[in-house]
Amino acid sequence: MARVAQGSMSRNSSRVLWFRSNDLRLDDNTALQAACRDAQSLLPVYVFDPSCFNTLTRYGGARKSTARRARFLLECVASLRRRLEAHGSGLAVGVGSPSEIIPRFA
């Protein structure tokens, strides 16, 4: 699910919407709808978290994300960016821990 954070400029004027890898939808995204309400500006953000790719699973020591999964995710994020651009927006993309990256945008 996407998460909404209010920016530090002024209340209800600037918001950051963090798209998480399991929910990149626009059409029925309730967090997106909520973020758009009463906001003067909205910054959609996606963060590639390296820990999601390098973690070993309990299934024979396999990595959590294969190269195919990573490529699929890249394609999904690129598609999200194109869809947002078609609506006059964009997508800020970061790499790192979301707990460190997201506050930089807020």
What gap in Å lies between CA 66 and CA 79, rounded to an integer? Answer: 20
Reported as a single tens digit per residue, the pLDDT across 29-74 is 898 888 888 788 899 999 998 887 777 777 777 666 777 888 999 9
Q: For residue 10, what pLDDT is reported?
A: 45
Confidence bin at 2 (pLDDT 50/70/90):
low
- 43: tokens are 């910054």
- Residue 21 burial (C-beta neighbours within 10 Å; 0-12, 13-18, 19+): middle
Q: Are 50 and 96 in contact (CB under 8 A)?
A: yes
From the number of C-beta atoms within 10 Å of its C-beta (0-12, 13-18, 19+), residue 45 rates as: buried
More confident residue, 105 or 46: 46
